[in-house]
Amino acid sequence: NQRRVHGKVAHQDDFAQVLERAVAAGVERMVVTGGSLEESRSALKLASQHGKALLYSTVGVHPTRCDEFLNDSEAHLQSLLELAQSSKKIVAVGECGLDYDRLHFCQKETQLKFFELQFDLAERTKLPMFLHNRNTDGDFARLVKAHRHRFSGGVVHSFTGDERELRAMLELDLYVGINGCSLKQKENLETMALIPLDKLLLETDAPWCEIRPTHASHEYVQTKVDSVKKERFQPGRQVKSRNEPCNIQQVLEVVAGYRSDVQDAESLAHIVYANTMRLFWNADGS
Protein backbone atom coordinates (compact mmCIF):
# COMPACT_ATOMS: atom_id res chain seq x y z
CA ASN A 1 0.00 0.00 0.00
CA GLN A 2 2.01 2.92 -1.29
CA ARG A 3 1.21 6.26 -2.84
CA ARG A 4 2.55 6.59 -6.40
CA VAL A 5 3.24 9.91 -8.13
CA HIS A 6 4.08 9.73 -11.86
CA GLY A 7 4.63 5.98 -11.47
CA LYS A 8 7.11 6.33 -8.63
CA VAL A 9 6.53 5.47 -4.99
CA ALA A 10 6.29 8.78 -3.13
CA HIS A 11 5.03 7.72 0.31
CA GLN A 12 2.96 5.12 2.09
CA ASP A 13 -0.75 4.80 1.39
CA ASP A 14 -2.68 7.22 3.61
CA PHE A 15 -6.14 6.89 2.05
CA ALA A 16 -7.70 5.78 5.35
CA GLN A 17 -6.32 8.89 7.01
CA VAL A 18 -7.69 11.08 4.21
CA LEU A 19 -11.15 9.67 4.95
CA GLU A 20 -10.66 10.13 8.69
CA ARG A 21 -9.72 13.79 8.21
CA ALA A 22 -12.78 14.31 6.03
CA VAL A 23 -15.14 12.80 8.59
CA ALA A 24 -13.48 14.80 11.39
CA ALA A 25 -14.13 17.97 9.35
CA GLY A 26 -17.85 17.15 9.17
CA VAL A 27 -18.00 15.58 5.72
CA GLU A 28 -20.79 13.00 5.59
CA ARG A 29 -20.79 11.98 1.93
CA MET A 30 -18.20 12.08 -0.84
CA VAL A 31 -18.63 11.40 -4.55
CA VAL A 32 -15.77 9.70 -6.40
CA THR A 33 -16.00 10.77 -10.03
CA GLY A 34 -15.35 8.54 -13.02
CA GLY A 35 -13.81 9.93 -16.20
CA SER A 36 -13.76 6.76 -18.29
CA LEU A 37 -15.38 3.34 -18.23
CA GLU A 38 -12.44 1.83 -16.38
CA GLU A 39 -12.26 4.75 -13.94
CA SER A 40 -15.99 4.47 -13.32
CA ARG A 41 -15.55 0.80 -12.46
CA SER A 42 -12.70 1.66 -10.10
CA ALA A 43 -14.69 4.47 -8.51
CA LEU A 44 -17.61 2.15 -7.80
CA LYS A 45 -15.29 -0.49 -6.37
CA LEU A 46 -13.73 2.09 -4.07
CA ALA A 47 -17.12 3.46 -2.99
CA SER A 48 -18.39 -0.03 -2.27
CA GLN A 49 -15.44 -0.82 -0.03
CA HIS A 50 -15.84 2.09 2.34
CA GLY A 51 -19.04 2.12 4.32
CA LYS A 52 -22.68 2.23 3.39
CA ALA A 53 -23.12 5.99 3.45
CA LEU A 54 -19.71 7.64 3.07
CA LEU A 55 -18.49 7.16 -0.51
CA TYR A 56 -20.53 7.22 -3.70
CA SER A 57 -19.52 7.36 -7.36
CA THR A 58 -20.41 8.43 -10.89
CA VAL A 59 -20.35 6.74 -14.30
CA GLY A 60 -19.32 8.63 -17.41
CA VAL A 61 -16.62 9.63 -19.86
CA HIS A 62 -14.72 12.91 -19.51
CA PRO A 63 -14.45 15.02 -22.68
CA THR A 64 -10.68 14.45 -22.84
CA ARG A 65 -11.23 10.65 -22.89
CA CYS A 66 -14.00 10.50 -25.50
CA ASP A 67 -11.76 8.63 -27.93
CA GLU A 68 -12.55 5.49 -25.94
CA PHE A 69 -15.96 5.46 -27.67
CA LEU A 70 -14.45 5.23 -31.16
CA ASN A 71 -14.03 1.46 -31.54
CA ASP A 72 -17.66 0.57 -30.86
CA SER A 73 -19.69 3.42 -29.43
CA GLU A 74 -22.91 1.45 -28.92
CA ALA A 75 -21.15 -1.37 -27.07
CA HIS A 76 -19.26 1.17 -24.97
CA LEU A 77 -22.46 3.01 -24.10
CA GLN A 78 -24.10 -0.29 -23.14
CA SER A 79 -21.21 -1.10 -20.81
CA LEU A 80 -21.56 2.30 -19.17
CA LEU A 81 -25.32 1.81 -18.83
CA GLU A 82 -24.97 -1.61 -17.24
CA LEU A 83 -22.46 -0.24 -14.77
CA ALA A 84 -24.65 2.77 -13.95
CA GLN A 85 -27.59 0.48 -13.24
CA SER A 86 -25.58 -1.96 -11.14
CA SER A 87 -25.49 -0.19 -7.78
CA LYS A 88 -27.30 2.38 -5.62
CA LYS A 89 -23.83 3.75 -4.86
CA ILE A 90 -23.86 5.44 -8.27
CA VAL A 91 -25.47 8.86 -7.92
CA ALA A 92 -24.75 10.66 -11.21
CA VAL A 93 -23.80 10.36 -14.86
CA GLY A 94 -20.44 11.99 -15.52
CA GLU A 95 -18.01 13.50 -15.49
CA CYS A 96 -19.00 14.42 -19.02
CA GLY A 97 -19.20 17.56 -21.13
CA LEU A 98 -16.91 19.61 -23.37
CA ASP A 99 -13.35 20.91 -22.95
CA TYR A 100 -11.93 23.05 -25.74
CA ASP A 101 -8.85 23.98 -23.69
CA ARG A 102 -7.53 20.43 -24.16
CA LEU A 103 -8.37 19.49 -27.72
CA HIS A 104 -4.98 17.75 -27.98
CA PHE A 105 -6.51 14.93 -25.94
CA CYS A 106 -9.72 14.61 -27.94
CA GLN A 107 -10.93 16.51 -31.01
CA LYS A 108 -13.89 18.88 -30.83
CA GLU A 109 -16.11 16.81 -33.14
CA THR A 110 -15.48 13.67 -31.09
CA GLN A 111 -16.27 15.47 -27.84
CA LEU A 112 -19.54 16.83 -29.23
CA LYS A 113 -20.67 13.47 -30.56
CA PHE A 114 -20.01 11.48 -27.40
CA PHE A 115 -21.14 14.09 -24.91
CA GLU A 116 -24.48 14.03 -26.71
CA LEU A 117 -24.53 10.24 -26.52
CA GLN A 118 -24.21 10.32 -22.73
CA PHE A 119 -27.57 12.04 -22.33
CA ASP A 120 -28.91 8.57 -23.10
CA LEU A 121 -27.34 7.35 -19.85
CA ALA A 122 -29.01 10.07 -17.81
CA GLU A 123 -32.38 9.53 -19.46
CA ARG A 124 -32.34 5.75 -19.02
CA THR A 125 -31.00 5.73 -15.46
CA LYS A 126 -32.92 8.81 -14.23
CA LEU A 127 -29.67 10.00 -12.64
CA PRO A 128 -28.55 13.66 -12.49
CA MET A 129 -25.52 14.77 -14.49
CA PHE A 130 -22.06 15.81 -13.29
CA LEU A 131 -20.96 18.20 -16.02
CA HIS A 132 -17.71 19.69 -17.33
CA ASN A 133 -17.47 22.89 -19.39
CA ARG A 134 -14.27 24.65 -20.46
CA ASN A 135 -14.05 27.46 -23.03
CA THR A 136 -16.72 26.06 -25.35
CA ASP A 137 -18.04 29.32 -26.84
CA GLY A 138 -21.67 28.42 -26.20
CA ASP A 139 -21.51 24.86 -27.59
CA PHE A 140 -21.98 23.31 -24.16
CA ALA A 141 -25.02 25.45 -23.38
CA ARG A 142 -26.58 24.77 -26.78
CA LEU A 143 -26.15 21.02 -26.47
CA VAL A 144 -27.45 20.88 -22.90
CA LYS A 145 -30.43 23.04 -23.84
CA ALA A 146 -31.34 20.65 -26.65
CA HIS A 147 -31.33 17.70 -24.25
CA ARG A 148 -32.36 19.36 -20.99
CA HIS A 149 -35.74 17.58 -21.00
CA ARG A 150 -33.97 14.22 -20.86
CA PHE A 151 -32.34 14.50 -17.42
CA SER A 152 -33.62 15.43 -13.99
CA GLY A 153 -30.92 17.86 -12.95
CA GLY A 154 -27.21 18.49 -12.97
CA VAL A 155 -24.26 20.50 -11.77
CA VAL A 156 -21.62 22.31 -13.81
CA HIS A 157 -18.73 21.41 -11.57
CA SER A 158 -15.54 23.41 -10.99
CA PHE A 159 -17.14 26.50 -12.52
CA THR A 160 -14.64 29.12 -13.69
CA GLY A 161 -16.75 31.10 -16.16
CA ASP A 162 -17.76 34.75 -16.21
CA GLU A 163 -21.16 36.30 -15.45
CA ARG A 164 -22.44 35.68 -18.97
CA GLU A 165 -21.61 31.99 -18.77
CA LEU A 166 -23.13 31.78 -15.29
CA ARG A 167 -26.41 33.23 -16.56
CA ALA A 168 -26.46 30.61 -19.32
CA MET A 169 -26.02 27.80 -16.79
CA LEU A 170 -28.76 29.16 -14.55
CA GLU A 171 -31.14 29.48 -17.51
CA LEU A 172 -30.65 25.74 -17.98
CA ASP A 173 -31.71 25.21 -14.35
CA LEU A 174 -28.35 23.70 -13.40
CA TYR A 175 -26.52 23.83 -10.10
CA VAL A 176 -23.09 25.50 -10.10
CA GLY A 177 -20.17 23.81 -8.32
CA ILE A 178 -17.49 25.98 -6.71
CA ASN A 179 -14.02 24.87 -5.57
CA GLY A 180 -10.56 26.39 -5.21
CA CYS A 181 -10.12 26.64 -8.99
CA SER A 182 -13.33 28.68 -9.11
CA LEU A 183 -11.92 31.27 -6.71
CA LYS A 184 -8.49 32.24 -8.01
CA GLN A 185 -9.11 35.80 -9.21
CA LYS A 186 -11.12 38.73 -7.87
CA GLU A 187 -13.38 38.42 -10.91
CA ASN A 188 -14.04 34.79 -9.97
CA LEU A 189 -15.18 35.87 -6.51
CA GLU A 190 -17.47 38.51 -7.99
CA THR A 191 -19.09 35.95 -10.28
CA MET A 192 -19.41 33.38 -7.48
CA ALA A 193 -21.35 35.93 -5.43
CA LEU A 194 -24.00 36.08 -8.18
CA ILE A 195 -24.91 32.39 -7.91
CA PRO A 196 -28.34 32.07 -6.25
CA LEU A 197 -27.94 30.25 -2.95
CA ASP A 198 -30.46 27.62 -3.98
CA LYS A 199 -28.27 26.75 -7.00
CA LEU A 200 -24.91 26.69 -5.21
CA LEU A 201 -22.84 23.56 -4.56
CA LEU A 202 -19.39 23.42 -2.95
CA GLU A 203 -16.70 20.88 -3.78
CA THR A 204 -12.95 20.26 -3.52
CA ASP A 205 -12.19 18.37 -6.76
CA ALA A 206 -9.48 16.71 -4.68
CA PRO A 207 -6.66 15.99 -5.23
CA TRP A 208 -6.70 19.10 -7.45
CA CYS A 209 -7.95 22.67 -7.02
CA GLU A 210 -6.53 23.56 -3.63
CA ILE A 211 -6.78 27.19 -2.48
CA ARG A 212 -3.29 28.67 -2.65
CA PRO A 213 -1.77 31.74 -0.95
CA THR A 214 -1.55 33.48 -4.34
CA HIS A 215 -5.32 33.20 -4.92
CA ALA A 216 -7.64 36.14 -4.30
CA SER A 217 -9.73 33.84 -2.12
CA HIS A 218 -6.93 33.07 0.32
CA GLU A 219 -7.58 36.08 2.55
CA TYR A 220 -10.95 34.60 3.51
CA VAL A 221 -9.52 31.23 4.56
CA GLN A 222 -9.61 30.61 8.29
CA THR A 223 -8.74 26.92 8.55
CA LYS A 224 -5.04 26.37 7.93
CA VAL A 225 -3.73 23.14 6.41
CA ASP A 226 -1.02 21.23 8.27
CA SER A 227 0.98 19.75 5.39
CA VAL A 228 4.45 18.55 4.44
CA LYS A 229 6.12 17.86 1.10
CA LYS A 230 5.60 14.33 -0.20
CA GLU A 231 9.33 13.62 0.21
CA ARG A 232 8.94 14.28 3.95
CA PHE A 233 5.68 12.43 4.35
CA GLN A 234 4.43 12.04 7.91
CA PRO A 235 1.37 9.98 8.87
CA GLY A 236 -1.41 12.22 10.12
CA ARG A 237 -0.39 15.28 8.09
CA GLN A 238 -1.61 16.33 4.65
CA VAL A 239 0.68 16.20 1.63
CA LYS A 240 1.56 19.65 0.32
CA SER A 241 -0.20 20.60 -2.96
CA ARG A 242 -2.49 17.55 -2.77
CA ASN A 243 -6.01 18.71 -2.03
CA GLU A 244 -8.24 16.64 0.27
CA PRO A 245 -12.00 16.40 0.94
CA CYS A 246 -11.54 17.87 4.44
CA ASN A 247 -10.46 21.14 2.82
CA ILE A 248 -14.06 21.76 1.82
CA GLN A 249 -13.97 23.85 4.99
CA GLN A 250 -11.78 26.39 3.24
CA VAL A 251 -14.10 26.67 0.24
CA LEU A 252 -17.01 27.17 2.63
CA GLU A 253 -15.13 29.87 4.54
CA VAL A 254 -14.25 31.77 1.37
CA VAL A 255 -17.77 31.74 -0.03
CA ALA A 256 -19.34 32.67 3.32
CA GLY A 257 -16.71 35.34 3.97
CA TYR A 258 -17.07 37.02 0.60
CA ARG A 259 -20.82 36.96 0.08
CA SER A 260 -22.91 39.64 1.75
CA ASP A 261 -26.10 37.56 1.66
CA VAL A 262 -24.73 34.83 3.95
CA GLN A 263 -24.98 35.12 7.73
CA ASP A 264 -22.08 32.80 8.52
CA ALA A 265 -20.34 29.62 7.37
CA GLU A 266 -22.63 27.35 9.35
CA SER A 267 -25.81 28.70 7.82
CA LEU A 268 -24.26 28.44 4.35
CA ALA A 269 -23.24 24.83 5.06
CA HIS A 270 -26.88 23.94 5.80
CA ILE A 271 -28.05 25.52 2.54
CA VAL A 272 -25.41 23.81 0.39
CA TYR A 273 -25.93 20.46 2.12
CA ALA A 274 -29.65 20.64 1.34
CA ASN A 275 -28.89 21.51 -2.30
CA THR A 276 -26.47 18.57 -2.57
CA MET A 277 -28.93 16.12 -1.05
CA ARG A 278 -31.68 17.37 -3.34
CA LEU A 279 -29.61 16.88 -6.49
CA PHE A 280 -27.82 13.60 -5.84
CA TRP A 281 -30.08 11.83 -3.36
CA ASN A 282 -33.49 13.35 -4.10
CA ALA A 283 -33.78 14.35 -0.45
CA ASP A 284 -34.22 17.64 1.38
CA GLY A 285 -31.09 17.30 3.53
CA SER A 286 -32.89 17.80 6.80
Cβ atoms < 10 Å from Cβ of 23: 15
Nearest CA-CA partner of 182 in 157, 206, 213, 159: 159
Q: pLDDT tens digit string along 249-269?
A: 999 999 999 999 999 999 999
Q: Is 182 helix (H, G, I), strand (E, B) or coil?
A: helix
Q: How confident is the model at residue 1 (pLDDT cuts 50, 70, 90)?
A: very low
Tell me the per-residue pLDDT of 12-67, one tens digit each, with 9 for 90 and over: 888 999 999 999 999 999 999 999 999 999 999 999 997 678 999 999 999 999 99
Residue 127 makes CB contacts below 8 A (sequence gap 6+) with 84, 90, 91, 92, 93, 121, 151, 152
What's the pTM? 0.94
Q: Could you tell me if 202 and 177 are in contact, meaning their C-beta atoms sit under 8 angstroms apart?
A: yes
